[in-house]
């Protein structure tokens, strides 16, 4: 296989570790922090996790290694959607394991959690690992979205681990995957299996974060990748001067990606779902906000602009959320078959009109027909509308077009409006990791093995002080239960890691809020360009604007 020059160069990159992890395995000791409790529902979470709840946070520091010297056989999986840097977590884990004892073994279970259930695996060796250092993707062992959540599944996992002599598992994933890791850790502890479980925080969406986890890995690379493309679109818009570009970016449950891309590129409009929800904005009000920018720029002779739309924006609009809930009920059970059997869209529309409340029908009626039909596409496994299939970038450009037509009819607008649409999603999930993500992920993997070596279970690999140079990063661990609360899922109370939403009082949003009025009217675009891997640290090792503002 012929390699690209960049791939060859990235193989040779040596990721930077936190200072205390550079001392050598024999000179790393543990410093205990305070006991922990969950972010909410403490009594309920404690009752569900009697063996792993309330443990101390820890950090690693220079000192005599007091861990038990023994051969370690560790299993690892990648779980959920891809994120840049996942390969380096595996490489860091492998290198720490082999540095401690060359006889240690790392087993990769293929295809995510299903590999653990099916006993589909590979035993890592140097030649195989070295093909994936500092590269994007999850193709080293693949990934999957199978959930580990039943007692029967846990018993199969334990049985398969024992076939290989596995004494620890590392689960690399997002909030759901690490919730599953916590539940599996509790099962293993309760049944005295001798198997430790360690998690690593992954998601490009940026919503796995809190006072301890400053950033999930992959967010840095993905947002830099999207920001490069948005900057290129801005440059094109400012050159052609005749199009409004509506750019949808990843982030169904939170708007971190959209906000970071806005901070990087300074578009005319960026919608923040959390603000829309807090202000209880309607679709019409959101469209009016965008149309105000279009009209103000048109008055200056600028019939062009850029708007960033988070993937999950419609779920933050209260009236739209009610509409979705009513549609889910309208098509529940056998009613879906009756609806699907109707021969024409006119027949289906009449069925919808008869089944929705007057208020929700008013919302439905203003939607473009193609968006209306998208709401009735294939259901998810639970029978609900797949909101991710809704082309929200096209929805809002259509609503803005209608808004502007009304303004023009009233003599309040005399510009031109021509929209182009983009969805930036998969382009960012498997990019070559930035130096930050390459370093951070390698550190997370290396650190995960130190947690294993010292006997911890139910812990998340934690590296903090990330806005500083890697030498000053702090490595340690925190109990996963610290991030958990109880939420209603599929009709039952479940312990889950709380998703982090954009904080409207936080420094990143406040900076955006202070500048967006100017960005909406003026052309203030910034062009981040491609991710830089070689050159001065101030160019190549930049953290995200979000992290820089939060830690300023």
The Cα–Cα gap between 281 and 316 comes to 9
pLDDT for 489: 74
Average pLDDT on 288-315 reads 97
What is the SS3 assignment for 283? helix
pLDDT in tens, 65-87: 999 889 999 999 999 999 999 99
- Answer yes or no: is 9 within a domain: no
| 378 vs 453: which has the higher pLDDT | 453
pLDDT for the residue numbered 382: 61
Given a contact cutoff of 8 angstroms between Cβ atoms, the answer to whether 181 and 196 are in contact is no
Give the per-residue pLDDT at 11.
Answer: 94
Of the residues 463, 480, 497, the one at which a domain ends: 480
Q: For 498, how many CA atoms within 13 A lie in the half-sphere containing its CB?
A: 17
Q: Taking Cα atoms as reference points, which of 405, 374, 399 lies closest to residue 388?
A: 374
The pLDDT, as a whole number, for residue 469 is 95
User: Which run of H or E residues covers position 323?
Assistant: helix 318-330
What size, in residues, is the chain? Answer: 552
Asked whether residue 42 is assigned to any structural domain, the reply reads no
Mean pLDDT of 140-155: 95
Query: What pLDDT does 376 receive?
Result: 86
> Which tens digits make up the pLDDT trace of 152-203?
999 999 999 999 999 999 999 999 999 999 999 999 999 999 999 999 999 9
Judge whether 11 lies within some domain: no
Within-domain flag for 40: no
Confidence of residue 331 (pLDDT cuts 50, 70, 90): confident
What CATH number did the domain enclosing 74 receive? 3.40.50.450
Report d(CA 44, CA 486) in Å as an integer.
8
Q: Does 27 lie in the same domain as 123?
A: yes
**What's the CA gap between 170 and 445, in Å, rounded?**
9
What is the SS3 assignment for 213? coil
Which of the residues are catalytic? 205
At 381, the pLDDT band (50, 70, 90 cuts) reads low
Residue 380's pLDDT band (boundaries 50, 70, 90)?
Answer: low
pTM: 0.95
pLDDT exceeds cutoff 80 at 408: yes
Cα–Cα distances (Å) from 70 to 67, 100, 102, 188, 454, in that order, read 9, 10, 11, 20, 11
pLDDT at 490 over 70: no
- Sheet harboring 196-201: ordered strands across? 28-35, 56-62, 474-479, 459-464, 196-201, 168-173, 73-78, 105-109, 121-123
What domain range includes position 108?
16-33+56-218+433-480
284 and 170 housed in the same domain: no
The verdict on 383 and 474 lying in the same domain is no
Residue 546 in domain: no
* For the chain, percent of residues with pLDDT exceeding 90: 88
Over its C-alpha atoms, the chain yields an Rg (Å, rounded) of: 25
DSSP structural state of residue 20: G
Per-residue pLDDT at 385 exceeds 80: no
Across the range 385-412, mean pLDDT stands at 92
Residues 6+ away with beta carbon under 8 Å from 17: 439, 442, 443, 446, 470, 473
Residue 225's domain is classified under what CATH number? 3.40.50.460
Alpha carbon distances (Å) from 369 to 103, 249, 366, 376, 423? 63, 23, 9, 11, 20
Positive or negative CA dihedral for 459, 492, 500, 314? positive
Same domain, 275 and 291: yes
Counting the structural domains of the chain, the total is: 2
Q: Are 105 and 212 contained in the same domain?
A: yes
SS3 assignment, position 271 = coil
Question: How far is CA 418 from each of CA 276, 289, 298, 363, rounded to the nearest angstrom?
Answer: 25, 17, 12, 24
- At residue 462, φ and ψ (nearest 5 deg) are -130, 125
Q: Please report, for the chain, how many H helices and E strands are present, in that order.
A: 22, 15
Residues 236 and 192 in one domain: no
Q: State mean pLDDT over 6-13.
A: 93
**Biggest CA-to-CA distance, the chain:** 80
Q: Which of 463, 446, 442 is nearest to 547 (CA)?
A: 463
Q: Which residue, 309, 298, 308, is CA-closest to 521?
A: 298
Query: What's the pLDDT score for residue 155?
Result: 98
Is the pLDDT at 392 greater than 80? The verdict is: yes
Q: Are residues 285 and 396 in the same domain?
A: yes
- The yes-or-no verdict on residue 323 having pLDDT over 90 is yes
Q: What's the rounded mean pLDDT across residues 121-129?
A: 97
pLDDT of residue 152: 97
Which string of DSSP letters, residue by residue, matches 432-480?
Answer: PPPHHHHHHHHHHHHHHHHHHHTT--SEEEEEE-TTS-GGG-EEEEEEG
What is d(CA 209, CA 219) in angstroms, rounded to the nearest whole number?
A: 11
Q: Are residues 314 and 179 in the same domain?
A: no
Q: How far apart are CA 165 and CA 105, in angstroms?
A: 10
Evaluate whether residue 289 is within a structural domain. Answer: yes
State whether 185 and 313 are in the same domain. Answer: no
Q: What number is the average pLDDT over the span 505-518?
A: 98
Sign of CA dihedral 385, 386, 388, 390: negative
Classify the C-alpha dihedral 201-207-213-216 as positive or negative. positive
- Mean pLDDT across the chain, nearest whole number? 95
Q: Are residues 231 and 115 in the same domain?
A: no
What's residue 377's pLDDT?
Answer: 79
pLDDT of 1 strictly over 70: no
| Number of other CB atoms surrounding residue 8 within 10 Å | 9
Domain match, 292 and 368 both: yes
Q: Provide the pLDDT confidence category of residue 387 given band limits of 50, 70 and 90.
A: confident
CA atoms within 13 A on the CB side of 381: 2
Closest CA to 204 of 234, 178, 175: 175
Hey, is 487 helix, strand or coil?
A: strand
Q: Is residue 340 part of a domain?
A: yes
The rounded distance, in Å, linking the Cα atoms of 541 and 537 is 5
Output the pLDDT for position 503.
97
* Shared-domain flag, residues 367 and 437: no
pLDDT digits (tens, 9 = 90+) for 198-217: 999 999 999 999 988 999 99
Q: Can you tell me the distance from the alpha carbon of 542 to that of 546, in angstroms, rounded to the nearest whole number?
A: 11
Phi, psi for residue 478 in degrees, rounded to 5: -140, 145
- Across 264-289, average pLDDT: 97
Tell me if 324 is assigned to some domain: yes
């Amino acid at each position: 296989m012929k390699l690209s020059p960049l791939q060859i160069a990235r193989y040779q990159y040596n990721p930077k570790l936190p200072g205390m992890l550079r001392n050598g395995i024999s000179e790393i000791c543990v410093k205990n922090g305070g006991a922990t409790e969950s972010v909410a529902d403490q009594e309920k979470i404690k009752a569900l996790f009697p063996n792993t709840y309330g443990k101390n946070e820890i950090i690693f520091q220079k000192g005599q290694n007091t861990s038990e010297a023994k051969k370690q056989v560790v299993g690892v999986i990648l779980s959920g959607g891809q994120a840049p840097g996942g390969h380096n977590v595996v490489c860091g884990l492998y290198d720490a394991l082999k540095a401690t004892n060359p006889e240690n073994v790392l087993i990769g279970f293929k295809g995510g959690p299903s590999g653990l259930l099916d006993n589909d695996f590979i035993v890592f060796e140097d030649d195989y690992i070295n093909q994936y250092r500092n590269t994007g993707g999850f193709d080293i062992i693949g990934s999957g979205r199978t959930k580990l959540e039943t007692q029967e599944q846990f018993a199969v996992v334990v049985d398969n681990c024992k076939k290989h002599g596995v004494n620890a598992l590392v689960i690399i994933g997002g909030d759901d995957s690490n919730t599953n890791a916590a539940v599996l850790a509790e099962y293993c502890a309760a049944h005295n299996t001798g198997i430790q479980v360690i998690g690593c925080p992954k998601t490009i969406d940026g919503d796995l974060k809190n006072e301890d986890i400053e950033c999930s890995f992959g967010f840095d690379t993905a947002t830099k990748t999207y920001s490069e493309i948005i900057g290129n679109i801005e440059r094109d818009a400012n050159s052609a001067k005749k199009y409004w570009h509506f750019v949808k970016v990843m982030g169904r449950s939170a708007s971190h990606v959209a906000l970071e891309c806005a901070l990087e590129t300074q578009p005319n409009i960026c919608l923040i779902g959390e603000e829309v929800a807090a202000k209880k904005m309607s679709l019409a009000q959101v469209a009016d906000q965008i149309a105000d920018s279009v009209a103000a720029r048109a008055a200056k002779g600028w019939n062009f602009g850029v708007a960033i739309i988070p993937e999950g924006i419609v779920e933050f609009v209260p009236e739209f959320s009610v509409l979705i809930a009513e549609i889910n009920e309208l098509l529940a059970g056998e009613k879906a078959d009756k609806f699907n059997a109707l021969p024409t869209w006119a027949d289906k529309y009449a069925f919808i009109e008869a089944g929705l409340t007057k208020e929700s029908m008013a919302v439905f009626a203003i939607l473009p027909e193609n968006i209306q039909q998208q709401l009735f596409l294939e259901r998810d496994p639970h029978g609900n509308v797949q909101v991710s299939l809704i082309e929200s970038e096209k929805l809002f450009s259509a609503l803005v077009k209608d808004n502007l037509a009304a303004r023009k009819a009233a003599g309040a607008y005399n510009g031109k409006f021509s929209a182009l649409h983009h969805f930036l999603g998969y382009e960012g999930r498997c990019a070559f990791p930035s130096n930050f993500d390459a370093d951070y992920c390698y550190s997370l993997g290396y650190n995960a093995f130190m947690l294993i070596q010292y006997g911890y279970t139910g812990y998340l690999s934690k590296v903090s002080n990330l806005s500083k140079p890697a030498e000053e990063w702090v490595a340690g661990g925190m109990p996963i239960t610290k991030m958990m609360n109880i939420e209603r899922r599929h009709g039952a109370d479940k312990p889950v890691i709380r998703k982090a939403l954009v904080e409207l009082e936080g420094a990143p949003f406040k900076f955006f809020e202070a500048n967006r009025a100017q960005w909406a009217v003026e052309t203030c675009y910034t062009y981040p360009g491609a991710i830089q891997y070689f050159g001065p640290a101030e160019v190549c090792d930049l953290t995200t604007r979000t992290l820089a503002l939060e830690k300023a």
